[in-house]
Amino acid sequence: RLAFEDGFYERIKQSAGYMPASLLKKIEGRRAIWIHAASVGEIVATSPLVKEVKKEFPEAVVVVSVVTATGHAMAHRIIPEAEGIIFFPLDLPYLTRKILHIIK
């Protein structure tokens, strides 16, 4: 059932450390700030934080990572200030290093 969900393959790719090309272009040569929201409650709490970060660092690219498809959809709805909403990479040192290298 999961494999037939809308966006499943994009979720798997991002969990494996691949970021959308459009987001990579936005990040290139700019400061990026990564905020992780593990639950729907954290996504709701992150919305005002992202607004404040954008006020303080307007030139920065804000990337919010989430865990679930529901969280991904909600983050897109309530955090329009974030330039990227991604799925959190699997908790493996290689993948975490890869993402940290991209989002400096």
Encode the chain (104 residues) as per-residue pLDDT tens digits.
455 566 777 888 888 778 889 998 999 999 999 999 999 999 999 999 999 999 999 999 999 999 988 899 999 999 999 999 999 887 888 878 877 777 77
> What's the pLDDT at 4?
57
Tell me which residue of 30, 1, 14, 24 sits closest to 66, measured CA to CA.
14
> What's the pLDDT at 2?
52
What does the DSSP 8-state code read for residue 35? E
Q: Are 23 and 103 in contact (CB under 8 A)?
A: no
> What's the pLDDT at 40?
92
Query: Residue 10 CB: number of other CB atoms within 10 A?
Result: 14
Q: Tell me how far apart the 2 most distant CA atoms of the chain are, in Å.
A: 43
For tokens 């983050």, what's the residue? 75
Alpha carbons 87 and 63: distance in angstroms, whole number = 10
Task: Please name each of the domains of the chain with its CATH number.
Answer: 2-102 (3.40.50.11720)
